[in-house]
């Protein structure tokens, strides 16, 4: 009985027929595989195989790294060489910017000014006559107030009218107004003093001006003394090589020029040169010296605002010379300037400032350019043909050629030969000048990076096309 029950239970637990047909419900019985043992030889074989692969990978990686570094080093070295070459070229070009521009410090340390001489005004007859006049009852003028009273008359322009009415300029009054003009720190007083002297100076046409007796008249000594007090450096005894040291020593001073009174000094000098038809105030040598001073003032950058005033004064001094004096004086002024000027752009600045349509001004410009050119050649060549032959011998294709100096020589030669009668007298001069211009224009290539090389080439081409036919 129990056996039957057990069989019945087994039958009930057994899967149904449709369950036997479903593959999902009856997964296949895994087949038993025969296990295979791994030996020591197989392990060693796999180890050495992996080691070989690893070594091959490391070798390829190292090889690629070596090739990359080699290519990178070659490229870096080439690039570094190009950078060095570029830096060298830029350094050569940059050296030109170290060339200083035109400009000199014409004035150094200023000395204490001279006393104005105001105390001596108390003894003036003009003041005494005013003190004793009925007008003084209204003015209440005293001797102590004499200076203040005269200052008011001077500023208002009444002092010159008063002396013309009296017909007399006393010595103390003349000295006082002159010192105010050159040494006063007050703009009104120095300008009024200058106007006073310009008014009382006799004009070329005496009929337009009443006669006036002047007890004291300033001379060239007084004007030179004022320049010394102003700290003027470029006198006839100055040496060009020592000028930078003098200027450097003066640069630390608070009393460094140019002085404020230099404008009145220039105006007074201009007025003095306009009265030679009446008075001969300066000698020929003194006029030559003052002409050199005026031209040198063009080189001070702080005086650029006085360009018109300086030009007017230069023309007045040039006109001061007599016809029989001018040729010799022109050469002397040119030699003196050439001996003091540095051989740089200051030479060309002088050429620009000596300008005008006057025949004497043109002659002065040619002579100054010629003497400076001689000085640039150290005085070894003084003949026109020799100078041009030397210029023609310059090899513009030489890498060591100093194009800055060539530019200076070219500009000086242009100013020397422009409208020069020598060119018409000697046709060979014109031929040699044209040959030098062609060298400058054709021998310098566009590959030359120097800025002055292009300036020489362009300037020579322009001159060649405009003047040589």
| pLDDT category of residue 252 using cuts at 50, 70 and 90 | very low
In the predicted model, what is the mean pLDDT of residues 413-417? Answer: 94
pLDDT value of residue 77: 72
φ and ψ at residue 101, rounded to 5 degrees: -75, 175
How many whole angstroms separate alpha carbon 296 and alpha carbon 292?
Answer: 6
- Considering the domain architecture, whether residues 395 and 416 belong to the same structural domain is answered as yes
Q: 243 and 233 in contact (C-beta within 8 Å)?
A: yes
Where does a domain end: 376, 401, 435?
376
pLDDT on residue 447: 76
Of 376, 399, 423, which residue sits at a domain end? Answer: 376
Asked if residue 413 and residue 264 are part of one domain, the reply reads: no
Which H or E run includes 267?
A: helix 262-273
SS3 of 165-189: the string is HHCEECHHHHHHHHHHHHHCCCHHH
Do 410 and 353 reside in the same domain of the chain? Answer: no
Q: Residues 215, 341: one domain?
A: yes
Do 287 and 428 lie in one domain? The reply is no
Query: Which long-range contacts link 312-315 to residues 24+ away (Cβ below 8 Å)?
Result: 312/270, 313/266, 313/267, 313/269, 313/270, 313/273, 314/353, 314/354, 314/361, 315/356, 315/358, 315/361
Band (145; pLDDT cuts 50, 70, 90): low
Asked which of 317, 345, 376 is the last residue of a domain, the reply is 376
Q: Would you say residue 365 lies in a domain?
A: yes
The answer to whether residue 221 sits within a structural domain is: yes
Report for 27-41, 106-120, 226-240: range of highest mean pLDDT: 106-120
Q: Are residues 431 and 384 in the same domain?
A: yes
Condensed to tens digits (0 to 9), the pLDDT of residues 107-133 reads 998 999 988 877 777 778 887 777 676
- Answer whether 174's CB lies under 8 Å from 215's CB: yes
pLDDT score for 450? 78
CA-based angle 171:176:181, to the nearest 5?
Answer: 125
Could you give the percent of the chain with pLDDT greater than 90?
43
The reply to whether 215 and 329 lie within a common domain is: yes
pLDDT digits (tens, 9 = 90+) for 155-189: 998 889 889 988 899 999 999 999 999 999 999 99
Structural domain contains residue 366: yes
Report residue 332: phi and psi, to 5°. Answer: -65, -40
* Token digits of residue 201: 């100076």
Q: Check residues 212 and 95 and name the one with the higher pLDDT.
A: 212
Q: What percent of the chain is predicted at pLDDT more than 70?
A: 72
Cα–Cα distance, 404 to 409 (Å, whole number): 9
**Confidence at residue 240, expressed as pLDDT on a 0 to 100 scale:** 44
Phi and psi dihedrals of 5, rounded to 5?
-65, -40
**204 token code pair:** 């070329």
Q: Number of structural domains, the chain? A: 3
Residue in 177, 183, 172 with CA at minimum distance from that of residue 159: 177
398 and 285 in a common domain: no
Domain span at residue 443?
380-469
| Banded model confidence at residue 149, pLDDT cuts 50, 70, 90 | confident
What's the whole-model pTM score? 0.76
Which contacts (CB < 8 Å, 24+ apart) does range 207-215 have? 210/164, 210/167, 211/167, 212/163, 212/164, 212/167, 212/168, 212/169, 213/167, 213/168, 213/169, 214/169, 214/174, 215/168, 215/169, 215/170, 215/171, 215/174
pLDDT band, very low/low/confident/very high, at 56 (cuts 50, 70, 90): confident
- Cβ-contact 99, 404 below 8 angstroms: yes
């Amino acid at each position: 009985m129990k056996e039957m029950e057990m069989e019945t239970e087994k039958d009930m637990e057994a899967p149904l027929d449709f369950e036997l047909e479903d593959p999902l419900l009856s997964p296949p019985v895994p087949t038993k595989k025969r296990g295979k043992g791994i030996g020591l030889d197989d392990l060693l074989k796999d180890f050495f195989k992996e080691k070989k692969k690893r070594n091959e990978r490391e070798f390829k990686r190292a090889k690629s790294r070596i090739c990359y570094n080699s290519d990178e080093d070659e490229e870096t070295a080439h690039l570094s060489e190009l950078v060095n070459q570029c830096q060298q070229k830029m350094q050569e070009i940059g050296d030109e910017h170290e060339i200083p521009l035109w400009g000199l410090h014409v004035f150094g340390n200023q000395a204490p000014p001279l006393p104005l001489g105001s105390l001596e005004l108390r003894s003036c007859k003009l003041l005494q006559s005013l003190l004793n006049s009925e007008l003084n009852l209204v003015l209440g003028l005293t001797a102590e107030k004499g200076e203040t009273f005269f200052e008011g008359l001077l500023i208002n322009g009444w002092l010159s009218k008063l002396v013309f009415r009296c017909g007399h300029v006393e010595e103390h009054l003349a000295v006082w107004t002159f010192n105010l003009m050159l040494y006063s720190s007050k703009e009104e007083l120095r300008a009024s003093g200058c106007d006073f002297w310009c008014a009382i100076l006799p004009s070329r046409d005496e009929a337009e001006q009443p006669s006036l007796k002047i007890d004291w008249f300033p001379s060239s000594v007084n004007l030179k003394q004022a320049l010394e007090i102003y700290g003027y450096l470029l006198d006839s005894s100055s040496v060009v090589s020592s000028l930078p040291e003098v200027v450097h020593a003066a640069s630390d001073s608070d009393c460094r020029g140019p002085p404020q009174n230099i404008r009145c000094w220039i105006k007074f000098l201009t007025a003095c040169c306009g009265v030679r038809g009446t008075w001969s105030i300066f000698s020929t040598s003194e006029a030559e010296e003052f002409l050199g001073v005026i031209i040198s003032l063009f080189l001070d950058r702080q005086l650029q605002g006085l360009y018109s005033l300086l030009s007017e004064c230069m023309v007045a001094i040039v006109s001061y010379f007599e016809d029989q004096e001018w040729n010799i004086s022109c050469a002397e002024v040119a030699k003196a300037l050439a001996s003091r000027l540095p051989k740089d752009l200051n030479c060309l600045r002088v050429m620009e400032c000596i300008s005008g349509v006057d025949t004497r001004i043109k002659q002065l410009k040619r002579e100054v350019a010629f003497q400076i050119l001689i000085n640039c050649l150290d005085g070894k060549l003084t003949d026109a043909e020799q100078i041009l032959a030397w210029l023609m011998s310059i090899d513009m294709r030489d890498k060591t050629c100093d194009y800055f100096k060539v530019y200076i020589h070219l500009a000086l030669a242009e100013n020397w030969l422009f409208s020069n009668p020598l060119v018409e007298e000697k046709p060979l001069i014109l031929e040699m000048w044209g040959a030098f211009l062609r060298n400058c224009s054709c021998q310098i290539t566009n590959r030359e990076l120097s800025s002055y090389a292009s300036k020489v080439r362009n300037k020579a081409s322009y001159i060649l096309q405009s003047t040589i036919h």
